[in-house]
Chains A and B, each alone.
Chain A
């Protein structure tokens, strides 16, 4: 048996089978997020947040999520920035839906 060939082959096989994070590598099956995508997502999130605020129903965490997104942009963490912005957007969309629903639904709760 040629150990000079076998050991390197074994080592290469183990490395190939090991999960990326174990090796400290980022595993990404999609294209990396760009700065433009992250910044656009923040801009969109801010616009929806303003609509929720105009409806008098901004949620508590939305502002913090946007701050985290901006901080991530300043640290060039585009993926993190995108995720935070999308989370903020979804919160604001739900807040707007809630405000629209409550514009009439509140009457059902009035003590009579």
Chain B
């Protein structure tokens, strides 16, 4: 009997590494190390440029686009909206640390009162409602422009997503991590299948970007759509593309996914808003 127990203990000990799930910081270190080993010629700091860190030809086109950035209009509109007082005389600045300037890098954050992850876009709408204003639609130009302006004021700040000592925060992170690595949809793809395993490879005529640095540059102006889109809008498109039914923007699923994904990019800088094909 004792020998049987010992054998089972040994078997469990041997199996443990395969199933063990590291903590967020171990995950982040492994995630960043993976891409550095995979693309040793790409500096870590360059991953904030998305696919342009991996695709030299596309990078040249993008650098030309950046000479007259198509997102400038959104930044200007966002600043106008940001500075315009609400009906009660207060402003967006009153809802955020540092009057809302240079805070993008701290989002998403876990709200202990709400018990959920709060993204910057959700915080903007919370601010509006707190001040008696109706929330914006998450796909609206106004909300994306406000987010673009707040990202603009945060350029160069290091992403600093915090997972506090709260089991609910860790559960939210784990939920986002599970979402990221789970295959879904009729095409049976996980986010990681494209943006980890196949990063840098072709998908039809384009190269797939690395997930590292993904959240640094949103919202982005997408040339093919002719408008600004949020990170969650990009999530929506990816999930639809693998032929799964997408979740709504700012759903708990996407907020947790953003929490995990942004934590993976901790230490990289904010360079949003961006421009993409």
Enumerate chain A interface residues (CB-CB to B < 8 A): 53, 56-63, 91, 94, 98-99, 102, 105-112
CA distance A98 to B27 in the complex (A): 25
The contact sample of 17 A-B pairs, CB cut-off 8 A, is: A58-B245, A59-B185, A59-B244, A60-B185, A63-B245, A91-B186, A94-B186, A98-B184, A102-B182, A102-B184, A106-B182, A108-B18, A109-B181, A109-B192, A110-B21, A111-B34, A111-B196
CA distance A57 to B213 in the complex (A): 27
CB contacts (< 8 Å) of B246 on chain A: these are: 60
Taking A59-B186, A109-B196 as given, write out 6 further A-B residue pairs in contact, using a Cβ cutoff of 8 Å, ordered by the A residue number: A57-B184, A57-B244, A59-B243, A59-B245, A109-B192, A110-B21
Please state if A109 and B240 are interface contacts (CB–CB under 8 Å). no
Among A53, A99, A107, the residue within 8 A (CB) of B19 is A107
Please state if B181 and A98 are interface contacts (CB–CB under 8 Å). no
Give the bracket for the number of chain B residues in contact with chain A: 20 to 34
Is residue B87 contacting chain A, with contact meaning CB distance below 8 A? Answer: no
Is residue B268 contacting chain A, with contact meaning CB distance below 8 A? Answer: no
CB contacts (< 8 Å) of A58 on chain B: these are: 244-245
Cβ distance B34 to chain A, nearest Cβ, rounded Å: 5
CB contacts (< 8 Å) of A60 on chain B: these are: 185-186, 240, 243-246
Cβ distance A65 to chain B, nearest Cβ, rounded Å: 12
CB contacts (< 8 Å) of B27 on chain A: these are: 110-111
B191 and chain A: residue at smallest CB distance: A109
* Per-position binary interface string of chain B over residues 179-204, scored 1 when its CB falls under 8 Å from any chain A CB and 0 otherwise: 00111111010101100110000000
CB contacts (< 8 Å) of B253 on chain A: these are: 56
A57 and chain B: residue at smallest CB distance: B184
CA distance A56 to B182 in the complex (A): 11
Among A61, A99, A109, the residue within 8 A (CB) of B190 is A109
